[in-house]
């Protein structure tokens, strides 16, 4: 492993952890550290931004190929499916869900899961029609 790659990994890990701790400090009201959390999150973001010059120096530019719309559509379908499934999970996991919330959450979660599962066949279909 090159030392530049190791530097990217270290910067990414430290920056991600500092950013995450800053976000926790902002979003957990019991801690009462919102202003300090914003500063820590900004520091973590700056550390993450330090990866860009290191990466650009050590990795040559790649030539741009034609956009693969099958992959783009696959990503969009996957994100939509995950969001729908997450909505269903959040309806089920509230403090004291009613029967209606449970039913809506379970049905919505299953629909989101099916969308995620059908993502690969959608990609395969788009890829086969492209050739």
pLDDT tens for 24-75 read 999 888 889 999 999 999 999 999 999 999 888 887 777 778 888 888 999 9
Do 73 and 52 share a structural domain? no
Do 90 and 48 share a structural domain? no
State the Rg of the chain over Cα. Answer: 21
Number of domains in the chain: 2
CA nearest neighbour of 116 among 70, 75, 58: 75
Do 105 and 74 share a structural domain? yes
CA 14 – CA 97 distance, rounded (Å):
38
Query: Which pLDDT value is given to residue 1?
Result: 62
Mean pLDDT of 16-22: 95
Domain enclosing residue 29, as ranges? 3-58
The CA-based diameter of the chain, rounded to the nearest angstrom, is: 57
Q: Is 64 within a domain? A: no
Determine if the pTM surpasses 0.75: no
CA nearest neighbour of 72 among 13, 126, 9, 115: 126
Do 81 and 44 share a structural domain? no
pLDDT band at 19 (very low <50, low <70, confident <90, very high): very high
Q: Is 63 within a domain? A: no
Confirm if 5 and 57 have CB atoms less than 8 A apart.
no
* Final residue in a domain of this structure, among 32, 58, 84: 58
């Amino acid at each position: 492993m090159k030392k530049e790659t190791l530097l990217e990994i270290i910067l990414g890990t430290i920056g991600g952890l500092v950013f995450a701790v800053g976000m926790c400090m902002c979003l957990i009201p019991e801690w009462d550290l919102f202003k300090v959390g914003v500063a820590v999150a900004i520091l973590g973001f700056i550390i993450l931004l330090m990866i860009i010059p290191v990466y650009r120096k050590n990795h040559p530019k790649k030539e741009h190929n034609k956009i693969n719309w099958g992959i783009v559509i696959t990503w969009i379908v996957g994100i939509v499916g995950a969001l729908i499934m997450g909505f269903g999970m959040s309806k089920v996991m509230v403090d004291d869900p009613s029967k209606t919330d449970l039913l809506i959450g379970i049905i919505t979660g299953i629909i989101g899961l099916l969308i995620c599962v059908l993502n690969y066949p959608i990609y395969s279909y788009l890829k086969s029609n492209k050739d």
